[in-house]
Amino acid sequence: MMSIQRGKSTETLALGDDLLIQKRDFIGFDVEGTPIFVGYGIEEPAYGWNDYENLDVAGKVVIAYAGAPLKDGDPVLPEELHNLYSNISRSMNQRLLFALRNKVSTLLLIPDPQTAKKWEARVDFKQRGFASSGKESKPLSIQFYLLRPKAAVNLLAGTGFDPVSGQGEFKNSILNDVHIKLETDRQITKESTSNNVVGLVPGIDPVLKDEFIVVSAHLDHLGIRDGKVFNGADDNASGSAAVLEAAEAMAKASPRRSVLFVLFTGEEGGAFGSRQFVVHPPIPQEKIVLNINADMVGRNSEPFPESLLAIASENKRSQLNKFIIEVNESLTKAAIDIEKSSSSPWTSFLLGSDQMCFIMKGIPAILITRGFLQPDYHQASDDADTINYNKVWQAARLIYTLALEAANSETLFD
C-alpha cells in the first residue's frame, strides 16, 4: 500500500490496482519521504542526456516514465538506444541499474500508454506465485514497482507532464509538496525447502585465505509445465557444468585466496538461493571480494553467434573490465565480445541472474553468458542437442582463469 499526501488531502494506492511489483526479491522494507521526479530515469551522458544530473536521490523514492526522450519531436538518443528505452520490458533492467548507481531506495516506473492498456494482464502474471527466502529474510538495497499512469496524475500535478498520455514538457525536480509512505506486507502462504550446493577450495596464503572468490551458477529451471519437461540445457545446465569443471580444476591449483563454488537454487522464481546466500552467508559477507556467475553459456544466438559476454558490475567496472581483458588475452583466449560486454543494453543482463544479489550488497561481480536472447529461452525445446559444447568449454576455462587470477592477485582491484 502507498499513501500520497499533498497538503491536507491523502490518496491511497493499492498493490495490484495501482502498484505492481517488478522485482519480487527486492521487496521487504517500508519507506517514506518526499519523492523526486527523474523524467525518463536515463543516464546516457555520452549522448548529452542524464536525468539524474544535479539530483541527490540517495535513499529517496524516485518516479520515472518508461519512454525515450524527444526534442522537437525527434529522438535525442541514437536509434538503437531510442528503441531500447521506448520498450519498457527491454529497458527495465537498464533503468534499474541507473537507480542502483545513484543509490535510490525505491523506483516507481510509470508505463507508457500502450503498456498501461495491458495492466490487468500484467497484474495476473506478475503478482502470482510469490515466494520468500525465509521468515527471517532481509531486504536487498532497492524496491521496484510499476505505478499505474492514472494513479500518478495527482502525484505529478504541476510538473508539466501528463502520465496518462505521456505528453508534456517537464523538468526533473523534487516534489516538495508531496509526501509518500510505502508499506509492504509479505506473508508466506506456501512453504517449501530447496538447498544451495556449496563446495570450498581453501586458500593457502596465511592472510589472503580469509578472503573469498565466489564462483556460481543456478541449478534450477522451470520443471514440468502442461505435461512438458523443461530440461534447461542452456538455462542453466550449461553454466552449472562450466562451474563444476572450473571447481575440479581449482581443487588442483592451490589458490592464495579461498574460492567458494556455489550452485544456487530458486533462481527462476526470483533469485531466492542467491538472495539467501548474501543475506545469511556461510562466510563473513565483508570477506567476499568478487562473484563470478555463469548463466546460459551454451548456445549461439544473435547478435553474438560465436562469442561470450563477460559483463562487469557497476562497482569496480573499470578495474574489472581491465582485469577480464588482460586475463583473457594472456591466458584463456576465449571469444568474448568486449564492446557489447561494456555497453547498453547488454549491461542490463546484470540484473537477470544471481550476480544481482551480490551487486545489491556492494560486492563486485562478473556475469559470464552468451546473452539472454535465443529462440528456446524458457521453452521445452531448450535441450542438449542445441548446445555448442565448445562455447561451454570456453566459458569453463574463462571462469577458472578469472577466479584463479583473482584469488592469486596481491592487491585485487585496488
pLDDT, tens digit, for every residue of 380-400? 999 999 999 999 999 999 999
CA angle 95, 126, 111 (to 5 degrees): 40
Q: What is the pLDDT of residue 134?
A: 41
Q: pLDDT tens digit string along 215-238?
A: 999 999 999 999 999 999 999 999
Question: Which pLDDT does position 185 carry in this prediction?
Answer: 61
Contact 310, 336 (CB under 8 A): yes
When pLDDT is cut at 50, 70 and 90, the band that residue 25 belongs to is: low
pLDDT value at residue 129: 37
CA dist 285 and 215 (Å) reads: 15
The CATH fold assigned to 197-408 is Aminopeptidase (3.40.630)
Q: Does residue 72 surpass a pLDDT of 70? A: yes
| Closest to 332 in 3D by CA, of 312, 310, 313 | 310
Question: Does pLDDT of 128 surpass 50?
Answer: no
Res 298: pLDDT: 93
Question: Which option is the CATH number for 2-182: 3.90.550, 3.30.420, 3.50.30, 2.40.128?
Answer: 3.50.30
- By CB atoms closer than 10 A (0-12, 13-18, 19+), residue 3 is middle
Q: Average pLDDT for residues 201-209, to the nearest whole number?
A: 97
**CB 272 within 8 Å of CB 25:** yes
**Helix%, strand%, coil% for the chain, nearest 5:** 30, 25, 45
Across 52-79, average pLDDT: 91
Q: Which helix (H) or strand (E) holds 309?
A: strand 309-312
Residues 87-121: tens digit of each pLDDT: 887 788 888 888 888 889 899 999 888 777 767 66
Q: What is the pLDDT of residue 187?
A: 57
Instruction: Identify the residue with better confidence: 289 or 302.
Output: 289
Going by C-alpha positions, the residue among 22, 25, 53 that lies closest to residue 39 is: 53
User: Lowest mean pLDDT: which of 140-144, 284-288, 293-297, 308-312?
Assistant: 140-144
27 has a pLDDT exceeding 60: no
What percent of the chain stands above pLDDT 70? 90
Residue 405 has pLDDT above 90, yes or no: yes
Q: How far is CA 14 from CA 130, 175, 184, 220, 336, in A?
A: 17, 21, 10, 33, 45
Name the grid cell of 101.
548507481
Question: Which of the given ranges, 45-54, 112-121, 268-277, 394-403, has the highest pLDDT on average?
Answer: 394-403
Q: What is the pLDDT of residue 24?
A: 54
Asked which of 135-144, 161-170, 281-290, 309-318 is least confident by mean pLDDT, the reply is 135-144
**Mean per-residue pLDDT, 50-60:** 92
Alpha carbon distance 82, 105 (integer Å): 26
The residue ranges of DSSP E strands in 102-211, in sequence order, are: 106-110, 143-147, 173-174, 178-182, 197-201
Domain positions in the chain: 2-182, 197-408
pLDDT for 26 beyond 60: no
151: nearest Cα among 23, 5, 17: 17
Write down the pLDDT at residue 367: 97
At residue 233, the pLDDT reads 95
Range with top average pLDDT, 292-301, 303-312, 334-343, 393-402: 393-402
The stretch 278-294 carries a mean pLDDT of 94
pLDDT at 340: 87
What is the reported pLDDT for 122?
56
Higher per-residue pLDDT: 378 or 128: 378
User: Using omega within 30 degrees of 0 as the cis cutoff, is the peptide bond preceding 282 cis?
Assistant: no
Q: How far apart are CA 404 and CA 414, in angstroms?
A: 17
Least confident range from 32-36, 239-243, 284-288: namely 32-36
pLDDT mean across residues, the chain = 86
The pLDDT, as a whole number, for residue 364 is: 94
Say which residue, 127 or 33, is predicted with more confidence: 33
Per-residue model confidence (pLDDT) at position 285:
93
Average pLDDT for residues 174-191, to the nearest whole number?
Answer: 75
133 pLDDT tier (thresholds 50, 70, 90)? very low
3-state secondary structure 51-89: CCCCCCCCCCEEEEECCCCEECCEECCCHHHHHHHHCHH
Q: No. of H helices and E strands in the chain?
A: 10, 22
CB 295 within 8 A of CB 236: yes
With cut-offs at 50, 70 and 90, classify the pLDDT of residue 278.
Answer: very high
Residue 181: beta bridge partners?
3, 32
Tell me the pLDDT tens digit for each residue of 340-381: 898 877 887 887 899 988 988 889 999 999 887 777 888 999
Residue 130 to residues 25, 45, 135, 142, 272: CA-CA distances in angstroms? 9, 37, 13, 18, 11
* Res. 259: pLDDT tops 60: yes
